[in-house]
Structure 1
Amino acid sequence: MKGTTHLAIGVAIGVTAAISHPFSAQHAAIYIAVAACSALSADLDGTNMLSGKLSGIARMIRELLLWGGLILTGILGYIYVMKGMLYTEWSIGAVAMSLLGFVSRSGVIRNALVSAIGSALLYGGIAGGMGWLMGLGVYVAWVPWLNHRGLTHTVWATAAWGSIGWGLEQQVHVDGVASVAVWGYVSHLVADTLTPSGVKWLYPLSKKTFKLPIGKL
């Protein structure tokens, strides 16, 4: 299912929560933000609206590694031929850059960038003594390396996300944040269940795919 559809469902859940609880603009913003992020987070195991912007940066980094390494190798080679001077450390670095640019894929670099963000969140959680932020950091750092629609699309991941939401609720003292987080996450799994590919809700205990396709969404 398209990320925009997941986002729309998440926003609808957030708006519903804002209406059904004592209203304040601050609480409404929290509900909508939590629900929207929850509805999108399961797809961090691939390219989605949360990580998609990093794909362009990843491609740029790959190009810089490749061409930067080749150009530097050429310059060092010219210096060696013309002046007989060999800069060993620089030469090793230039060759390593070129090889890394050749063998690395943009998707791997993108995943590394997402993991770096997760690591920063983890550090922030440790520094601030916020368990929910540590959990979020671990989630963000880990899931980009998982197979798409694998472990993130399960009841276990939903429970883990719910615990993060519960920790956030204790932090901000806004009733219903944990429920909104769970419903947002569940909405993603339910929506993907309605597609032809379906969802393995009980993976890895069971590899059975649950699906009720209603067309291309």
Structure 2
Amino acid sequence: MKGTTHLAIGVAIGVAAAASHPFEAKHAALYVAVAAFSSLSADLDGTSLLSGKLNRTAKIVHWLMIWGGIALVSAAAGVYIAQGELRLTWAVPAVTVLLLGLVLGNGAIRNALVCAIGLGLIYGGYAGDMNWLIGLGAFIAWVPWLNHRGLTHTVWAAAAWWGIGLGLERQLPLDGIAQTALWGYLSHLIADTLTPSGVKWLYPLTKKTFKLPIGKL
């Protein structure tokens, strides 16, 4: 399924989550950012299949997301260095924008950049005593080197993602973030199940592919 479709579904989930909780602009942005990134995070594995499907406009958006993400991450890092405080309401959307840009890329350089971000998150989690951030960093650092639609497209990965989301929810604290992350992740697996290629939900216990194709998605 196209990355833009996954992203649209994720944004819709984030908007629904924001609408179902007391509204604050910064919280709404977090719900949407978490859901959007969760909806694409499974495709951090292997060589991305998305970049070749991007038209000229989408490619411009792709690079804007990467450079915009770099700028936002740099700003969040600057605040952390200057004040010794990691502001998650800034850092989460910043890292999300950058990773959303990278997930649309492909090749060894893309994988190395994603892995480097993951290692940075591991360090940040260790320095800030945030286990959920260590888990997120480990996920991001590891999965680019996996085969596409392998372990990241399983119930085990979804469960791990929910655990990371639960840690973030307790850290903020912001009710519903873990559920938003889980539904964002599951939306990707469910959508891919509706394609002819399907998904190996229970891999590596079984290599059986589950699919319910409803057309060319």
TM-score (norm. length: structure 2): 0.73
The yes-or-no answer on 1:38 pairing with 2:56 is: no
Encode CA deviations 1:12-45: one digit per residue, 9 max, x unaligned. 0000011111111121111100000000000000
Could you tell me which amino acid in structure 2 is paired with residue 174 of structure 1? L
Could you tell me which amino acid in structure 2 is paired with residue 132 of structure 1? W
Cα distance between partner residues in 1 of 2:158 and 2:145: 18
User: Secondary structure of 2:170's match?
Assistant: helix
Q: CA deviation at 1:181?
A: 0.3
Tell me how large the CA RMSD over aligned residues is: 2.0
User: Secondary structure of 2:26's match?
Assistant: helix
Cα distance between partner residues in 1 of 2:125 and 2:151: 24
User: Secondary structure of 2:207's match?
Assistant: coil
In structure 2, the partner of 1:198 is 198
In structure 2, the partner of 1:107 is 107
Cα distance between partner residues in 1 of 2:110 and 2:50: 13
In structure 1, the partner of 2:121 is 121
TM-score (norm. length: structure 1): 0.73
Task: State the 4+ residue runs in structure 1 displaced beyond 4 angstroms.
Answer: none
C-alpha distance 110-194 of structure 1, shift in aligned 2 (>3 A): same
Q: How does 1:71-110 map to 2 (within 5 A)?
A: 107-110=107-110
C-alpha distance 176-130 of structure 1, shift in aligned 2 (>3 A): same
Cα distance between partner residues in 1 of 2:32 and 2:108: 31
Cα distance between partner residues in 2 of 1:115 and 1:152: 15
Q: CA deviation at 1:110?
A: 2.3
Between structure 1 and structure 2, the one with the greater Rg is 1
In structure 2, the partner of 1:143 is 143
Could you tell me which amino acid in structure 2 is paired with residue 144 of structure 1? P
Q: Which runs of 5+ in 2 are unaligned?
A: 52-58, 67-105
In structure 1, the partner of 2:210 is 210
| Cα pair 1:40 1:48 within 8 Å, conserved | no
Identity, % of aligned positions: 73
Cα distance between partner residues in 1 of 2:43 and 2:196: 17
**Mean alpha-carbon deviation: is it higher for 168-177 or for 20-29?**
20-29
In structure 2, the partner of 1:47 is 48
Cα distance between partner residues in 1 of 2:170 and 2:18: 18
Aligned residue pair count = 166
In structure 2, the partner of 1:15 is 15
| Cα pair 2:2 2:50 within 8 Å, conserved | no
In structure 2, the partner of 1:168 is 168
